[in-house]
Amino acid sequence: MRSLTVEPGIPDSLRLEEFRIPPADRGSVLVRAIALGVCGTDREIIAGDYGCPPPGHKRLIIGHESLGVVEEVPEGVSLYPGDIVVGIVRHPDPVPCANCAVGEWDMCRNGRYTEHGIKSLDGFGSEFWRIEPSFVVPVTASLGLAAVLTEPASVVAKAWEHCERIGHRARWRPQSVLVTGAGPVGLLAALLGRQRDLDVHVFDRAHDGPKPEIARALGATYHHSSLDAVPGDFDVIMECTGAPPVIAGVLGRSAADGLVCLLGVSGSGGVQSVDLGSLNREVVLDNRVIFGSVNANRRHYEAALAALANANRDWLHRLITTRVALTDWKTAFALRPDDIKTVIVFDDAALQKFS
């Protein structure tokens, strides 16, 4: 089988390698890859910024946005050969903390969790991959290639769940949401906002290309000139860029009792000038909340699939702006100005069967 591997910490070490199909001790469910979504995390690992190989290994199979078909499954498990599935990225730590012990591994407290394609577990960027049944999520075949969006949608589903939990500390009836960043996570955050009947505003620097049109097709208001030009304060702000200037710009834009959810991961540096005294006064006196959210557990994957199933199929497929075959893997990780989501197709024949 062919697999995309990197040596974490070594920039530009990505290569396509040949391996044997992994043995059952790597996971009792064998999955044949159909497609793999590419995201900024993958590019950062390829750049050598972070990543950790499995214990005893020098290289890591990358990829965490999976889509595949079950090939083998043990008896007594409610999965069957031919099922279309995705894999849950994060697994609980070997000596589980209080959260990992009850299935809340996305909220791990001791940092010993593992993540496919990121931290100490091989990823899904391989023609075959293995996983345990409890970390397999069946997907709706009618989604077609858009099912590869399940993982980023799960991150968004968790963020919305936490917003609603925090919001219900009082009588909370949100009306408006600002999403910064019109990448896959930002547009999926906007989708879930529209599914909640909110007035959705999307801010991104792109003034042409597919992003403005896709946001407007969702029923959102699109802004591109500057954050200062976006009118009003917002009940919910979802910051999906990780760009320090944008983060600084949204911290003071939530309404009274409003929430700012930080979803974009920033690099080090990026020092910004922020009037912390004024910001603190506004946050305290208006009962505002600023919090971070990352990753997802099983119920968030299920919520993500429900949201994708209720979305317009044509709109979802418009998020996938670039499709490449595994043989063209080098082009998949290049940054393109108008790109939203790049997907590597491992098995086009299998994709055609259920699309």
Taking the C-alpha atoms of residue 118 and residue 123, their distance in angstroms, rounded to an integer, is 7
Taking the C-alpha atoms of residue 325 and residue 50, their distance in angstroms, rounded to an integer, is 26
Which residues of the chain form CATH 3.90.180.10?
A: 2-138+319-354
| DSSP output for 254-280 | EEEEEEEEE-SPPPS-------HHHHH
pLDDT by 10s per residue, the chain, length 355 = 999 999 999 999 999 999 999 999 999 999 999 999 999 999 999 999 999 999 999 999 999 999 999 999 999 999 999 999 999 999 998 888 999 999 999 999 999 999 999 999 999 999 999 999 999 999 988 999 999 999 999 999 999 999 999 999 999 999 999 999 999 999 999 999 999 999 999 999 999 999 999 999 999 999 999 999 999 999 999 999 999 999 999 998 999 999 999 998 877 777 778 888 988 999 999 999 999 999 999 999 999 999 999 999 999 999 999 999 999 999 999 988 889 999 999 988 877 777 6
Could you tell me if residue 85 is left (phi over 0), alpha (psi between -120 and 50 degrees) or otherwise beta?
beta
Could you tell me if residue 318 is left (phi over 0), alpha (psi between -120 and 50 degrees) or otherwise beta?
alpha
**Would you state the CATH architecture of domain 154-292?**
3-Layer(aba) Sandwich (3.40)
Structure tokens at 8: 């974490």
Which among 309, 307, 320 is positioned nearest to 142, based on CA atoms? Answer: 309
| DSSP output for 44-89 | HHHTTSS-BPPTT-S-EE---EEEEEEEE--TTSS--TT-EEEE-S
Count of residues making up the chain? 355
Helix (H) or strand (E) holding 179: strand 176-180
Which residues of the chain form CATH 3.40.50.720?
A: 154-292
Residue 355: the pLDDT is 67
Taking the C-alpha atoms of residue 134 and residue 131, their distance in angstroms, rounded to an integer, is 8
**3-class secondary-structure state, position 3:** strand
On whether the CB atoms of residues 119 and 109 are closer than 8 A, the answer is: no
The dotted CATH code for 2-138+319-354 is: 3.90.180.10
